[in-house]
A and B are shown apart, each in its own frame.
Chain A
Amino acid sequence: MSQINRREFIRVLAAGGAASAFPAVARAAAKARVVVIGGGYGGATAAKYLKLLDPAIEVTLIEPNKSYTSCPLSNEVIAGYRDIKTLQVGYDGLRKHGVEVVQDLVTGIDRAARTVTTQGGRKLGYDAMVMSPGVEFHFEGIEGYSEALVDRFPHAWKAGPQTLLLKKQLEAMPDGGKFVIVVPPGPFRCPPGPYERASLVASYLKHHGKTKSKIIIMDANDSHSKKGLFQQAWKKLYGFEKEGLGTHGMIEWVKGAEGGKVVKLDAKTKTVSSDFVDIKADVLNIIPPHKAGKIAVASDLAKADGWCKVVPMTMASAEDEAIYTIGDSCVAGEMALYGNPDANFDMPKSAHIAMTQAKVAAAAIVAKVNGLPAPQPYYANTCYSIVDEGYGFSVAHLYRVENGTFKYIKEGSGISPVKMPDNSEVPALYRKLEAEYADGWLRNVMADAFG
């Protein structure tokens, strides 16, 4: 934008009034109406930053739950290192910023009329919408498995009661028991999450004298996030030998190509089967395959293999310029497989990325409402994994938009060091620092999104 337009932008933001980009539908009192669907990290951040950037915009956030429980670091709850209360937050912080928070479920969207209807019978018009519904589980991928079984075989992949249920089952597991984690085909939310969970379950078992127990990861995929760091930590802490079944050590990882992909469940005997092997579990943690949230699919926005495709400059849906699809339900970039160093990686489904996407969407909406072009977007990710008390590591991602497409910036991305540049072992201080930073990160993302 030109200098004059930029100055105009300041004046407009300061005065709180401008020629709206949506003059026909804007109400007299509000400059524009934005409806945010979903009160997770993405939706909460979008609502808050819309209000911070232009208080004259009316923002309504619709979320069925009264409070939010953070998925990030919820594996620490399962292992007994964290109280679940430290992951919970309400919506009063958003209300203080002037966001109207409605506890309800969106049941329908009329994209032509730009209205949403809710289970509670409300009907709201919008000039712009932020769609951040998270993921919807699909239970049909495994024979014998269904939604009704999640109370026996918790997924704990949406934090809350499921997290506590899995914790309880772990605590009740006798020494020598088998804790089986079933990992769905990617992409799934929190790419390193299943492996962090395996690590922290091992940590719990080790520190409670149940070292004859096994954690078996039945993985539909052939590689995963931070694999080198995880396997290094497992060797160091939990006697991990090598990939595959029947090894010593507490953790066994079975990749998809070698029989890791679970296709069948016998609920009665708690046995999962792949094409190669049957495994009888004591605790069975099935993470179901997932796709974009139900409302995104129902409103015909999830056309990229079940995910929402976006316009990189703004996070607007590729299907509807009035709807901004952010967070776990969208795919931002080309979906790439782990283990390919040259890939132009898509963005991982993380809280952190959802928040930077939310900030980009909020700034783009505010610019549009004020009749200005979208500002240059910036996307960054940080994601910590904890493998034991005082032992953590991370991955960072940086993205830019070049020629209208997402560009993964390799130089500004990457995992914590597996070795030092001179090939020596990474000093323990690095791992300790990152374990500490994980908690600081959590407090800040929660405050930045909900506070």
Chain B
Amino acid sequence: MRKQFVVVGVLAGLSCLGVAEAADNMEGLARTCFNCHGTGGVSAGTSMPSIAGLPEAYLKSVMLEWKRGERASANMTRLVKGYTDDEIAGLAAYFAKQPWTPVPQPAAKAVLAKGRKATERCESCHGATGGQPDEDDVPKLNGQWAKYLELELAKYRDDSFQMTHKRMIRNARKMGAGDVEAAAGFYGAQGK
């Protein structure tokens, strides 16, 4: 299953190669991101997020917050400080243009039921399945890797980890410990 989706990502990346290369070699810069985030931005590793097709405003604001030291990250805070604001904007635009490629991961019925309930408070911003964000600065969650989502929620729930979105922090901390895994599993299982 995983292989099939990665191939989709490759083809999506390829169709844009010429155009991006022509502009300012943003494709060349983006290719350095493929190492960790997958060819074309579609991740093959469960702890790494797919970034192809995420909203432009979301990608840009996260990178700028890392660069300005407002938002914690175990790793990305270092790399982005070496990019200009224009390069960050270019990367956000590049990845936002790629198709969002959900990788639905099977989950047990009990996990899905628990996850649906646990994500009720998320619905107003992310949509019922995580695939219909209401604003351009809200990430898509459907078919994102469940393991990654679990780790993201752990960041929002940890006092020591500096995150920026107050409402996310509040809501993530309202969840029970068992809800985190279920919520991540629920979104990870959604195709649309």
Contact = CB atoms under 8 A, between A and B. Distances in A.
A390 to B, nearest CB: 12
Contact of A451 (B3, B17, B19, B37): B3
A378 B31 contact: yes
Interface string A404-429: 00000101111010000000000101
Contacts of A14: 18
A432 B150 CA distance: 12
A413 B82 contact: yes
B75 A451 contact: no
A445 interface: yes
A436 B155 CA distance: 13
Interface string B128-148: 000000000000000001011
B38 interface: yes
Interface range for B: 35 or more
A447 B7 CA distance: 10
B39 interface: yes
Given A9-B22, A412-B81, A433-B74, A447 B31 contact: no
Nearest to B155: A429
A444 B6 CA distance: 10
A429 B83 CA distance: 26
B158 A398 contact: no
Contacts of A10: 18-19, 21-22
A6 B17 CA distance: 12
B74 A430 contact: yes
B10 interface: yes
A378 B35 CA distance: 13
A434 B19 CA distance: 34
B169 interface: no
B159 to A, nearest CB: 9
A445 B35 contact: yes
B114 to A, nearest CB: 23
The binding surface of chain A is classed by DSSP as helix
Contacts of B19: 10
Contacts of A363: 21, 28
B44 interface: yes
Contacts of A6: 21-23
Given A429-B160, A440-B45, A440-B48, A382 B28 contact: no
A416 B36 CA distance: 17
Contacts of B47: 436-437, 439-440
B18 to A, nearest CB: 4
Interface in B154-182: 154-155, 158, 160-161
A448 B38 contact: yes
Contacts of B154: 429, 432-433
A376 B25 contact: yes
B124 interface: no
Interface in B1-52: 3, 6-7, 10, 13-14, 17-19, 21-25, 28-29, 31-32, 34-39, 43-48
Contacts of B108: none
Nearest to B157: A429
Contacts of A413: 78-79, 82
Contacts of B21: 6, 9-10, 13, 363, 375
* 10 A-B pairs closest in CB distance: A412-B82, A440-B45, A443-B45, A440-B47, A440-B48, A427-B160, A447-B44, A6-B22, A398-B82, A10-B18
14 contacts: A9-B18, A52-B10, A52-B14, A355-B35, A376-B24, A376-B28, A394-B74, A412-B78, A427-B161, A433-B74, A434-B74, A440-B147, A440-B148, A447-B44
Interface of A: 6-7, 9-10, 13-14, 49, 52-53, 352, 355-356, 359-360, 363, 375-380, 382, 394, 396, 398, 409, 411-414, 416, 427, 429-430, 432-434, 436-437, 439-448, 451
